[in-house]
Amino acid sequence: MSKYAVTSGIQTSPVKTVLYGPEGIGKSTFASHFPDPVFIDTEGGTKRLNVARLPQPTSWAMLLDEVAEVRKGSVPCGTLVIDTADWAERLCIQAVCAKAKVNGIEDFGYGKGYTYAKEEFGKLLDALEEVLNTGHNVVVLAHAAITKFEQPDAVGNYDRWSMKTSKQVAPLLREWCDMLLFANYKTVVEKVGDGKNAKSKASGGRRVLYTAHHPCWDAKNRFDLPEEVPFDYASIAACIPGAMSAQAPKPEPQPRSQPEADILPSPQQEAKPVAQPQPAPLQESSEKNVLLSLGVPEKLAALMSANKVSCEELQGVVGKRGYFPEDMPIKDYPADFVEGCLIAAWPQVFQMVLDNRDIPF
């Protein structure tokens, strides 16, 4: 008999996310909507955001020490955000060069310096893995740059988006994360005119998030997300478990402008079977109409009426988790909170309602 236990089934755990995109697209703002985030801002890009942050690290050692403080629980949070990987790599390279007493990474000789930097950067990923093991989500942000790429079995090269890190560090980040997300502006190029006078004209500008690999960028996810979704936290909120750290403080009840995924457990968490909206009998239709008359959004009203959930029960769950006051009407909840949290992860919300019903008074 083996001395190792064999396990099976889906395991709920914190999520490690890497998000990259062009400068100014809103990566830091996107990360600020993760559960109880604390930023390690290596480049000073969050000064205009109302977020919790540690002091800007001035050295590689300070960066690793701040990560260690989060791991030990000295810094209460639900999500640790590294903003950004490419600026963190600069600190890493400076430390490698200082240790070897050389002026620059190229002074090591062809490729050797970047190999040393890759090994040193691996220490950060090991430290972040320990942060994950203590129950915190981890988000690593990075800038994007257009680079030349050539397939081994193809003739010629082409442009593609990649992380603005060294060629040695980028694969480490891609392999390490659960979700590799690429944010960009949706641009449409069309021909204007006829014949030799035809010109290409670009239009668009809508921000989108890519979650799957494409010849022009790297992306992946382990949650069966659509290949392209709006660049909004609600698009991935159901994939992110809430703050699991025992040290994380309970937030004060107050309205929030954006949905927070820590109200809900991971969508993979097992829950009791939940009835899905079906063509409703007369009584159920009447219950839904009552909910609609109270201003409950139609999709949410359908789920509530199908599962016999009252407004008071749902408001109790939301209020108990400390995200909105318990007496705040559902009609006043932000639309992205309703869509991204309540509806997207309804099985877990309903499970919380059932758990509250079982509490003796």
Which range has the worst mean pLDDT, 30-44, 128-142, 199-213, 265-279?
Answer: 265-279
State the pLDDT confidence band at 360, using cuts at 50, 70 and 90: low
User: Taking 70 as the threshold, does the pLDDT of residue 23 lie above it?
Assistant: yes
Instruction: Please name the residue that has the structure tokens 């239709």.
Output: 285
**Which pLDDT score is estimated for 268?**
43
What mean pLDDT comes out for the span 222-246?
Answer: 84
For the stretch 87-112, pLDDT in tens is 999 999 999 999 888 999 888 888 88
**Which pLDDT score is estimated for 213?**
95
* Residue 343 per-residue DSSP state: I
Task: Please report, rounded to a whole number, the percentage of residues in the chain having pLDDT higher than 70.
Answer: 85
**Which pLDDT score is estimated for 79?**
96
What mean pLDDT comes out for the span 43-72?
Answer: 93
State the pLDDT confidence band at 61, using cuts at 50, 70 and 90: very high
d(CA 227, CA 223): 11
d(CA 121, CA 194): 53
Whether the pTM exceeds 0.85: the reply is no
**Which pLDDT score is estimated for 152?**
78
Is residue 345 within 8 Å of residue 240, measured between CB atoms? no
Is residue 160 within 8 Å of residue 215, measured between CB atoms? yes
H-type alpha helices, 41-198: 60-72, 85-100, 112-133, 169-176
User: Taking 90 as the threshold, does the pLDDT of residue 298 lie above it?
Assistant: no
User: Taking 70 as the threshold, does the pLDDT of residue 25 lie above it?
Assistant: yes
State the pLDDT confidence band at 255, using cuts at 50, 70 and 90: very low
d(CA 306, CA 124): 48
State the pLDDT confidence band at 174, using cuts at 50, 70 and 90: very high
Q: Which residues pair with 206 in a beta bridge?
A: 186
Q: Using alpha carbons only, what angle is made at residue 355 by residues 275 and 285, rounded to the nearest 5 degrees? A: 35
